Amino acid sequence: MRTVPCAASLHRLGLAFLLALAVLALQARDSAARVFDPETFTLSNGMQVVVITNARAPIVTHMVWYKVGAADETTGESGNAHLLEHLMFKGTKTLGPGEFSRLIAKNGGQENAFTSYDYTAFYQTVAKDRLELAMKFEADRMQNLVLTEDLVASEREVVIEERRSRVENDPASRLRETMQAVLYLNHPYRIPVIGWKHEIEQLNAKTALAFYHRWYTPNNAVLIVAGDVTAADVRPLAEKYYGAIPARPVPQRVRATEPPQTAARRVTLESAEVRQPGLAMTYLAPSYNSADSEHAYPLEVLDEILGGGTASRLYRALVVEQGLAASVNTSYSPSALDLSSFDISASPRPGVDIEKVEAGVRAEIARLLQDGVNEDEVATAKRRLAADAIYARDSLNTAPNVFGRALTTGRSVADVEAWPDRIAAVTVEQVMAAARAVFREESSVTGLLLPKPTS
């Protein structure tokens, strides 16, 4: 064997990290399985800070997550949270519109932001010696945003194009939007994050700034830094930039709650743009944070058993054995401040009626409820989820996103780190109790995407 190593690199930091990991590994034998091993502290103004060290490259991802999202909007102002996210790039008392982005780019950084129902996040990935700059700018726009009606009007048009692109131009997306609107009868999760077009058109600088002043405070935000840094590096900078911003009272996040659901719903979208029919079924489900949250970890295991790849129940039965579906997928995310949903989607094999696919999915659910799951299935699913936790450490951006989602939806750093143990503790009985709690037709929506009938 011949190896031709290149010139030495800067692995002295990597070595230090390896040693640290070795020490942690020794400790880990006695204590619980961990995922990312973060450091955490809180500034005097109440802003929580999480630092995850990953010394693979001399870069950091710097994120600020606000504990507010689309589900916290005032009735009639759908799209306000997302529009504000766009407007955060439009300038402050000291930086002009777009200047934040230009400065980050000038410093070799990448950046973006995103809005969901329960959180709004802003992030930059930069060389580690630019972290201070990223913090300075992010802290600046946390309190010094400046908007004009012209700027807002222009960005509103951009958001409307975004809506056109994501929703109006895509029949599958339009179906999902309507399904979401009827899955939740009363809760604001029924309203699209991007907003209804007619309500977006009414948003302005006043609505955006009202939301901004109400929710964007350091005590309502989480700072997450991942990369070639430690808490010792981050703390003084966080104190200097974010710590200087005074806390302000923030309203409680009170959303309209769901009444009991007593009728199954069906939604059908027919369109000339559809050649390949699609089936989607969504069931109301608990989250880590809602009532009945004891079902959340078992539901993650059930998600894996039912649809977690080519050896899963639905794939084996519907795609391989019965040849009804071309593809089938399940999805369940337990990270929500309120309720969540368990989703199944399937695409028929060419020539197979979609009704047969729906019947096939329902038969598998009935079989699950009747015959249960076995120990092997549960053990395999848990093993696969445990492996996911190891793979999750590989990418620089996974940890900050996991912590951001958790800390803005009612959970703690300890919850994230305990995830492998909690998954490992799930039993067959718990999986079945969760299945029986969730697979109830009266709290579900079935959606069909169909071609336009030709006659």
Partner 1 sequence: MPLLRSAFILLIVLVAGIAPARAVEVQRVVSPGGVEAWLVEDHSNPIIALDLAFRGGAALDPAGKEGLANLVSGLIDEGAGDLDSQAFQGQLQNLSISLSFSAGQDAFNGDLATLTENRDTAFNLLRLALTAPRFDAEPTERIRAQILAGLAQQAEDPDWIAGRTMDVLQFPDHPYGRPVSGTAESLGAITRDDLQTFVATRLARDRLAIGVVGDITPAELAVYLDKTFLALPAEGAPLEIADTRPAGGGEVVVVERDVPQSIVQLAEQGVARDDPDYYAAYLVNYIFGGGGFASRLYAEVREKRGLAYSVYSYLNPMDHAALLSGGVATRNGRVGESLEIIREEWRRMAQDGPTAQEVADAKTYLTGSFPLRFSSSGRIAGMLVAMQLEKLGIDYLERRNSLIEAVTLDDAKRVARRLYDPDALTVVIVGRPDGIAPTRPAPKIES
Among 311, 359, 369, 425, binds partner 1 (CB under 8 A): 311
165-185 burial, b at 16+ Cβ within 10 Å, e below that, comes to: eebeeebbebbbbbbbbebbb
Tell me, residue by residue from 170 to 199, as one string, x for binding to partner 1 by CB under 8 A and - for no binding: x-----------------------------
Token readout for 332 is 């369940």
Among 156, 176, 265, 295, binds partner 1 (CB under 8 A): 156
Q: How far is the CB of 250 from partner 1 (least distance, A)?
A: 30
Dist. CA 283–CA 88, nearest whole Å: 35
* Paired strand residues for 112: 123
Q: How far is the CB of 311 from partner 1 (least distance, A)?
A: 4
Query: Does residue 85 carry a catalytic annotation?
Result: yes
Nearer to partner 1, 18 or 369 (CB): 18
Q: Is 58 in the site for partner 1 (CB under 8 A)?
A: yes
Nearer to partner 1, 42 or 154 (CB): 154
Q: How far is the CB of 59 from partner 1 (least distance, A)?
A: 5
Q: Is 26 in the site for partner 1 (CB under 8 A)?
A: no
Largest CA distance in the chain: 72
Nearer to partner 1, 20 or 247 (CB): 20
Q: How far is the CB of 283 from partner 1 (least distance, A)?
A: 24
Dist. CA 126–CA 63, nearest whole Å: 11
Nearer to partner 1, 311 or 359 (CB): 311
Q: How far is the CB of 237 from partner 1 (least distance, A)?
A: 18
Q: 239 exposed, middle or buried (CB, 10 Å; 0-12, 13-18, 19+)? A: middle
Dist. CA 155–CA 87, nearest whole Å: 7
Q: Is 96 in the site for partner 1 (CB under 8 A)?
A: no
Catalytic residue (choose from 73, 77, 85, 138): 85
Contact 258, 184 (CB under 8 A): yes
Nearer to partner 1, 10 or 366 (CB): 10
Q: Is 45 in the site for partner 1 (CB under 8 A)?
A: no
Q: Is 5 in the site for partner 1 (CB under 8 A)?
A: yes
Total number of residues shown for the chain: 455
Give the three-class secondary structure for 270: strand
38's enclosing H/E stretch is none
Query: Which of these segments, 4-12, 235-243, 286-294, 333-341, binds partner 1 (CB under 8 A)?
Result: 4-12
Among 249, 309, 371, 455, binds partner 1 (CB under 8 A): 309
Dist. CA 95–CA 137, nearest whole Å: 9
Query: Which of these segments, 72-80, 157-165, 185-193, 422-430, binds partner 1 (CB under 8 A)?
Result: 157-165
Helix ranges, 184-339 (H): 197-200, 205-215, 231-241, 296-307, 313-314
Q: Which of residues 119-148 bind partner 1 (CB under 8 A)?
A: 125-127, 129-130
Q: Is 29 in the site for partner 1 (CB under 8 A)?
A: no
Q: Going by C-beta distance under 8 Å and a sequence separation of 6 or more, which residues neighbour residue 447?
A: 175, 176, 178, 179, 266, 267, 268, 269, 279, 280, 281, 282
Query: Which of these segments, 209-217, 230-238, 289-297, 310-318, binds partner 1 (CB under 8 A)?
Result: 310-318
Per rule CB under 8 A, count of chain residues that contact partner 1: 85
Dist. CA 378–CA 301, nearest whole Å: 7
Whose CA is closest to 338, among 253, 238, 248, 228? Answer: 253
Dist. CA 284–CA 439, nearest whole Å: 9
Query: Which of these segments, 202-210, 216-224, 268-276, 428-436, binds partner 1 (CB under 8 A)?
Result: 268-276
Among 107, 178, 202, 293, binds partner 1 (CB under 8 A): 107
3-state secondary structure string across 317-371: HHHHHCCCEEEEEEEECCCCCCCEEEEEEEEECCCCCHHHHHHHHHHHHHHHHHH
CA distances from 387 to 37, 59, 331, 380 (A): 16, 26, 18, 11
Q: Is 453 in the site for partner 1 (CB under 8 A)?
A: no
Q: 346 exposed, middle or buried (CB, 10 Å; 0-12, 13-18, 19+)? A: buried
Query: Which of these segments, 26-34, 168-176, 251-259, 357-365, binds partner 1 (CB under 8 A)?
Result: 168-176
What does DSSP say about strands 120-127 and 59-66: parallel, antiparallel, or unpaired? antiparallel
Among 102, 136, 213, 240, binds partner 1 (CB under 8 A): 102
Q: Which of residues 335-394 bind partner 1 (CB under 8 A)?
A: 347-350, 380, 383-384, 387-388, 390-391, 393-394
Nearer to partner 1, 45 or 397 (CB): 397
Query: Which of these segments, 29-37, 135-143, 160-168, 437-445, binds partner 1 (CB under 8 A)?
Result: 160-168
Annotated catalytic sites, by residue? 85
